[in-house]
Chains A and B, each alone.
Chain A
């Protein structure tokens, strides 16, 4: 099968790979590049576990072809902590006991990150809206909503 080159930055570092044409970004990240933080819960765009941030926007990596990402700036949950210090969202998820099996967690954190990047002080409704493309089967969502609200408060206090 014809291979196509893809080149992008992942969490700030340059990546270049050859992939089969038609390979999803999810496969490229997990199987080629070795970033397994995006999870494949459905490979059909219905669970949100594969969520990543491409050029500042929330994207489902299972529905994104790797070859369309040339030159893109891609962020995943594995790159969120800086020098071992957790991002406020990660901290808030820990403190709120918002993870059980953890399979949905990287995707949830990506969705929440994009929300907080755009909306400093989101309302509960805005948080709900932001998370509504992500399935969690374990937590009943409330701890996740609380974690995002807490992280938002921490963020805006730091900014103030």
Chain B
């Protein structure tokens, strides 16, 4: 890695002792000696293992659940169903007033995605829990499912989630988050060329080497200590407190040393049910996702569809951009309404465009609920935007890098969400990339600066 100090030299602070120094990491000696303690490195005598019975169907009504055989299985200590969970319907972002509560801790009457948790089995060994889980009998009436976002948005599509009442998240602005800036139709009217293209992604797994999980120990004074690899301690504690209808003062969360997260450990999934198990049995409980669960059950990065329509002039200026983004939330909200909204704030990308129209939708389908991942709400949008930029440049016969200079945002430029640009540095990144990659651009672009409209 090289630090290029010639850029922005006038505003860089020098003369610091510790900042800017490549100090060795204080946690690395623990890592290389195997001494770093992750949550799963705590072991308690008498610890029970929790395994989930999961839905084999994408969408089904639960007619009945029979746990009697499972309960008789040797080593089984407790079997939990929806009726054991004090506040079974929840949503993670309720703490910052983003509702409605739309997800069950354990399925109640219905399953909405293949893999949904239905029954929790607690047993002396992992093997006993697994074997007993296979003996739980659930009688399902299979319902029609919908997987395609466009299908889901059509009238008459199977309703994925009754708590919403329709297959999209209802923002205060309506069926989508909107950004309106300038007059996009007038912009298209004046454009030399119009290009409308559609981009698609597929769900992506965080795949941390350490799977999601927790270990819970009852403290004997009515308090429970939960060792967890959550990315957000109080978020998890407060949601657990709501789900368990247990005062937060009874909960003690210990974590902070995590084997990779990438956004996959922001959901509150394993802790509440494990604490409930510990409370009802009085025993320590561990609930750790198998690799298979991490891959297919834990929330992935949402699949997204992005439709971009641009009006561009022969001189390279983009004069209008309309973006319609669809985020596939799967069966439940988790953090997806937030992510779709973040997309609306991100478009039209780091470019100054006078006429912009953005709609971003959060759509429900019968698949594994998606949630946050590294670059949440932006990564797939950037793929779409930057491939579109390449196509536009080629359409008007301009060099793709030069084309970006023409449109790059600079300090003071008004963004589509009506904030003036501050602290821009796109131009300088592109100038340095031009040099590093030996991709020459015209001198006038190398003379540009993010500071002013100059040049």
Contact = CB atoms under 8 A, between A and B. Distances in A.
A–B interface present (Cβ within 8 A)? yes
Interface of A: 1, 20, 22, 30-31, 34-44, 46-47, 49, 76-78, 80-81, 86, 89-90, 93-94, 97, 99-106, 109, 135-138
Given A101-B258, A101-B260, A37 B34 contact: yes
Contact of B210 (A43, A86, A99, A101): A101
Interface residues of B, number: 32
A79 to B, nearest CB: 9
Nearest to B40: A40
A97 B24 CA distance: 8
B135 interface: no
Given A104-B209, A135-B209, A37 B43 contact: no
B74 to A, nearest CB: 9
A101 B259 contact: yes
A138 B260 contact: yes
B25 interface: yes
Contact of A102 (B28, B125, B211, B292): B28
Interface string B176-213: 00000000000000000000000000000011111100
B33 A101 contact: no
* Interface of chain B: mostly helix, strand, loop or mixed: loop
Interface in B92-128: 125, 127
B31 interface: yes
B379 interface: no
B28 A93 contact: yes
B32 A94 contact: yes
A109 B36 CA distance: 15
B22 to A, nearest CB: 8
B44 to A, nearest CB: 10
A77 B34 contact: yes
Contact of A136 (B32, B127, B209): B209
Interface string B18-40: 00000011011111111111101
6 residue pairs, one from A and one from B, having the closest CB atoms: A37-B34, A102-B31, A103-B259, A42-B291, A36-B41, A90-B32
A135 B27 CA distance: 20
Contacts of A103: 38, 208-210, 259-260
By CB atoms of chain A within 10 A, which of B24, B33, B41, B125 has the most?
B33
Contacts, number: 101
A38 B24 CA distance: 24
B37 A36 contact: yes
A105 B32 contact: yes
B24 A94 contact: yes
Contacts of A36: 34, 37, 41
Given A103-B260, A105-B34, 8 more contacts: A40-B40, A44-B292, A47-B209, A80-B33, A81-B33, A97-B25, A97-B28, A137-B206
A137 B262 contact: yes
Interface string B39-70: 01101000000000000000000000000000
A102 B208 CA distance: 11
B34 A78 contact: yes
Nearest to A76: B34
B43 A105 contact: no
30 contacts: A20-B125, A20-B127, A31-B43, A36-B37, A36-B41, A39-B38, A41-B209, A43-B290, A43-B291, A44-B291, A44-B292, A78-B35, A86-B32, A89-B32, A93-B31, A94-B32, A97-B25, A99-B25, A101-B209, A101-B210, A101-B259, A102-B31, A102-B32, A102-B36, A105-B32, A105-B34, A109-B32, A137-B207, A137-B208, A138-B260
A47 to B, nearest CB: 6
A142 B180 CA distance: 45
B19 to A, nearest CB: 17
Contact of A47 (B27, B262, B290, B291): B291
A42 B210 CA distance: 8
Contacts of A105: 31-32, 34
Contacts of B36: 102
B121 to A, nearest CB: 17
Most A CB within 10 A of own CB, among B30, B208, B210: B210
A47 B262 CA distance: 18
Nearest to B262: A137
Contacts of A31: 43
A41 B125 contact: no
Contact of B33 (A34, A86, A97): A86
Contacts of A39: 38, 209-210, 259
B261 to A, nearest CB: 8
Contacts of B24: 94
Contacts of A137: 206-209, 260, 262
A50 B264 CA distance: 22
A93 B30 CA distance: 12
